Amino acid sequence: MQKRLDLNLLPVLEILLEERSVTAAAARLHLSQSAVSKQLTRLREVFDDPLFERTAYGLKPTPKALSLAPELRQCLQQLAQFTRPDTFEPALSQRQFRMHLVETTYSLTLPYFMPELLIQAPSVSINCQTWRLDTMDRLLRCDIDLAIGCREWDERSPMHVNDMSDDLSYVELVQDYSVCLMRRDHPALKQEWNLETFLSYRQLQVAFGGLEHWLLDDVLQLEGRKRDIAVHMTDFQSALTLCEQSDLILCAPSRYALTLMKSFDLQYLPSPIHLIPGAYLLMWHKHFEHDLSHKWLRELIISRVQQSLIV
């Protein structure tokens, strides 16, 4: 006899797959741990599989659970479509949005739209996570609602805006360009600033937004040249400290870097090679195009951020 599935169990399975912990899942669901454990037992009965195994590092999904994950999210999205209201009232909504941002956009976006969001929709929340290697895949699977990432307009870049998936919609929030940071008494400041001077010094590279190298590197590679990277890092604050205390040159996006460098004894020079400015894009899957609450949030982000960052 086929077991009937209680649809209320599906969000529990989804969150257990994300959290890999009964305790964390219970906190997100506002349930007791025992209640979540009971629902997990029912899920195991329905799917005739353990679904999760206990390890020293938390719950480990079984192959069956992992195979269910892609279709589970799609199923929940479709169920949400069926029950989605024809109108959206921000003041009454309790929706939680999932959003990934590259590190450099936190300070460029959240301070401009969150204050208004908290006024219009005091019970809405945003689960923000820093951009990861799988962010684009999760965006395409509708695992997250929105993402703010970096793309290039320069035709020489493999990360060109026009090369994104047709399944995604996007709006450009602001353009940005790269600058070169160095300590205030750096010897390069006493030389003619050109590509030869730039390449004669070792570099400090910060990877963010899933990018291991920059447009500058793509252009140099086309010319058969490359930078001498002494240190690869993932934290801008630490990189600025190292830049301040060495002869390493740090290339960074100007809007983010010029704000942070006020707290450091650093100077900046323009890029030694002509590059077309890149863009910070707000991206979402076309599945959400007509979702009223989703539309409200992205329009709020776009209007507030674009208005605040006009130069």
For the stretch 126-161, pLDDT in tens is 999 999 888 998 898 888 999 999 999 999 988 899
Residue 24 DSSP class: H
User: In this structure, is residue 2 part of a structural domain?
Assistant: no
User: In this structure, is residue 151 part of a structural domain?
Assistant: yes
Query: Of 83, 106, 121, at which residue does a domain stop?
Result: 83
Residue 94 CB neighbours (<10 A): 9
124 and 247 housed in the same domain? no
User: In this structure, is residue 92 part of a structural domain?
Assistant: no
104 and 35 housed in the same domain? no
Task: Domain count for the chain, please give it.
Answer: 3
196 and 266 housed in the same domain? yes
260 and 203 housed in the same domain? yes
| Whole-number Å distance between alpha carbons of 56 and 227 | 43
294 and 258 housed in the same domain? no
188 and 225 housed in the same domain? yes
User: In this structure, is residue 1 part of a structural domain?
Assistant: no
Q: Are 44 and 9 in contact (CB under 8 A)?
A: no
SS3 132: coil
The encoded tokens of residue 75 equal 């199923």
The encoded tokens of residue 74 equal 């799609």
pLDDT digits (tens, 9 = 90+) for 105-119: 998 899 999 999 999
Sheet of strand 203-206: strand arrangement: 229-233, 203-206, 249-253, 178-183, 266-270
Answer yes or no: is pLDDT of 97 > 90: yes
283 and 265 housed in the same domain? no
267 and 202 housed in the same domain? yes
CATH number at residue 216: 3.40.190.10
Alpha-helical (H) ranges within 180-266 are 195-199, 215-222, 236-244, 254-260
Domain that holds residue 295: 97-173+279-308
User: In this structure, is residue 108 part of a structural domain?
Assistant: yes
User: In this structure, is residue 89 part of a structural domain?
Assistant: no
User: In this structure, is residue 35 part of a structural domain?
Assistant: yes
Answer yes or no: is pLDDT of 311 > 60: no
**57 vs 156: which has the higher pLDDT:** 156
166 and 183 housed in the same domain? no
Q: Is 216 left (phi over 0), alpha (psi -120 to 50) or beta?
A: alpha
pTM: 0.73
Burial class (CB in 10 A: 0-12, 13-18, 19+), 280: buried
Q: Report residue 310's pLDDT band, with 50, 70 and 90 as the boundaries.
A: low
184 and 240 housed in the same domain? yes
169 and 284 housed in the same domain? yes
| Whole-number Å distance between alpha carbons of 250 and 266 | 10
199 and 264 housed in the same domain? yes
pLDDT digits (tens, 9 = 90+) for 186-237: 999 999 999 999 999 999 998 876 666 678 999 999 999 999 999 999 888 8
pLDDT on residue 122:
95
Query: Of 58, 83, 108, at which residue does a domain stop?
Result: 83
User: In this structure, is residue 88 part of a structural domain?
Assistant: no
